[in-house]
Amino acid sequence: MSGTKQLSRRDFLRGAALATAGVLAAACKPQVVTQVVKETVEVEKAVEVEKEVEVEKLVTAVPAELKKVRVHVQPWRIGKQTSLYRFKEEYMAEFPDREVEYFRENFDLTPLALEASQGTSHIDLLFDQAPFITMMALVEADVIIPIDDLIPEEWKGDVNQALLDECMYEGKQWVWPETQVVFMLAYQKSLLEGLGLEPPEAFDEYIYNCEEVQAKATLPDGSPVRGTTLDLLWWRAPTIVGMNMMGKDFFGEDNYMAWDDPRLVDVYLTLKKLGEYAPPEIFLPGGSCDEAFAMGQAAMQLGGHAMYTVMNYGFGLADLGLAVPPVFPGGEDNPRTTICGQGPSVMKHGDVEAAWHYWTWLWENEVFHETIFKEGSWSPANKNYAEAEWLLPAIKQTLEIGTYGGVVPSTLHYLTLNTHARAILTDYLLGKIDDAEEAIALTKKNFEDAVAKSE
């Protein structure tokens, strides 16, 4: 009788030197290994004993399986940050036993929840999750895991606490923050200079510039140029005007909107005035107001993070100016920046080790931060971002604008996406709602109903 002692998979891979980077191709070639074989031999009195002998045997190694990380990235990020593919190549070159696969798809909770119920996942790392919008739904559907134990302590000390708080739910951290929104005024340099105008520093100057532009400027086809454009999403133009006029009192003590503060009426009246100088695109969803500005249909734009997008497909850095938002009536040295959390989360039934390994590598990659500033619309939450030497001059200017910071409470996200706040504001600006008090009252009730349903 004879038998063969089998090596474990780990011992086999070690013997075939597969753990060394760069030898995956060599792993498929024949390897000479030493095996121990037990044989039965006959000795005096015909007693069977086992004797170990060494024999050389030619075996073919099985290729090592790559560790994959499957990353969900929304199409708009892929489209604006093509360097994500470069990061993929660099990552795989640095770690040849790993592979990155991007899923370019819109966020849809339904298939993710179904997979979670089945104990499976087609992705490992989920990008672009906004706390208190998608995050809580993912937690409730048992799709993602808390990441408290995964986050290095040195990371936590390098991030604004408000951002971390935004990404917490039921006392646990579910999303790693990645967002800082800077309020600013963008303007077409050549247009304002051609009319002898300077970027406005106060509300009256802002209105004067709008009137001058609309009286004198035209596009090449003869159509008029509007004075300004603004994004009616609550964390953009309404919040810029509101925080500028009211400071942090724009939010009440409970971090909800300061509905009963009479100054909120002035905010609405100011927005209506600005709306008179804006193109009709401001009432359309999506980034239509950004596109109107980038196409030269407006001389100025009051907004937030969208300026990075404008740099990509608009008239370019050479003709793009960035300035501090004009001071509105009542506003002096009020916040120019809001912070909120939007970053990656780890799928419960994905490859946790692979997902977090990839994100850890990405977060510590300085080129990643640089690329986001140059290509994308989100800037990293790392609190030391302003110290980097590689920032474009325009972005350095933006960061200087954002020196005076405030915090947008998570409830603002509810107000933005889970209510009809924008629709009510639109109806007010279009005259479908008679006065500011009525619009505020409708928004308040709509918001409170949405909050009640979420609790």
Are domains 67-179+340-385 and 184-334+418-454 of this chain identical in fold? yes
Among 12-16, 101-105, 202-206, 325-329, the minimum mean pLDDT is found in 12-16
Q: From 284, 322, 327, select the one nearest 306 (Cα to Cα).
A: 322
Mean of the per-residue pLDDT values of the chain: 75
Q: Which residues contact 346 (CB under 8 A, 6 or more apart)?
A: 124, 125, 126, 144, 145, 147, 150, 352, 355, 356
Q: Is 71 helix (H, G, I), strand (E, B) or coil?
A: strand
Place of tokens 């993912």: 138
- Is residue 442 predicted with pLDDT exceeding 80? yes
Confidence of residue 44 (pLDDT cuts 50, 70, 90): very low
- Is residue 272 predicted with pLDDT exceeding 70? yes
Domain extent listing, the chain: 2-60, 67-179+340-385, 184-334+418-454
Cα 38 from Cα 35, distance rounded (Å): 10
Higher-pLDDT residue of 415, 194: 194
Cα 82 from Cα 88, distance rounded (Å): 11
Q: pLDDT by residue (tens digit) across 152-193?
A: 888 877 776 666 776 888 889 998 887 666 678 889 999 999
Cα 363 from Cα 176, distance rounded (Å): 10
Q: pLDDT by residue (tens digit) across 327-375?
A: 999 887 666 666 666 788 999 999 999 999 999 998 888 777 777 656 6
Cα 428 from Cα 441, distance rounded (Å): 12
Helices 352-363 and 83-94 sit at what angle, rounded to 10 degrees?
110
Place of tokens 């340099």: 189
Q: From 359, 399, 358, select the one nearest 379 (Cα to Cα).
A: 399
DSSP 379-424: ---BTTGGG-TT--HHHHHHHHHTTSB----THHHHHHHSSSHHHH
Q: From 243, 259, 183, select the one nearest 419 (Cα to Cα).
A: 259
Class of domain 184-334+418-454: alpha beta
Higher-pLDDT residue of 286, 202: 202
> β-strands 67-73, 98-104: how paired?
parallel
pLDDT at position 122, please?
93
Class of domain 67-179+340-385: alpha beta
Cα 119 from Cα 444, distance rounded (Å): 40
- Is residue 402 predicted with pLDDT exceeding 70? no
Please tell me the chain's helix, strand, coil percentages from 3-state DSSP, rounded to the nearest 5.
45, 20, 35
Two structure tokens written together for 298: 């407006």
DSSP 321: E
DSSP 430: T
Residue ranges of E strands in 144-277: 168-169, 172-173, 180-182, 184-188, 226-230
171 Rama class: left (phi>0) / alpha (psi -120 to 50) / beta: left
Q: Answer for the pair 43, 59: CB distance below 8 angstroms, yes or no.
A: no
Q: From 330, 303, 290, select the one nearest 239 (Cα to Cα).
A: 303
Q: pLDDT by residue (tens digit) across 210-249?
A: 999 999 999 989 999 999 999 888 878 888 898 889 887 8
Q: Answer for the pair 40, 47: CB distance below 8 angstroms, yes or no.
A: no
Cα 8 from Cα 183, distance rounded (Å): 60
Rg (the chain; Cα; Å): 29
Higher-pLDDT residue of 251, 271: 271
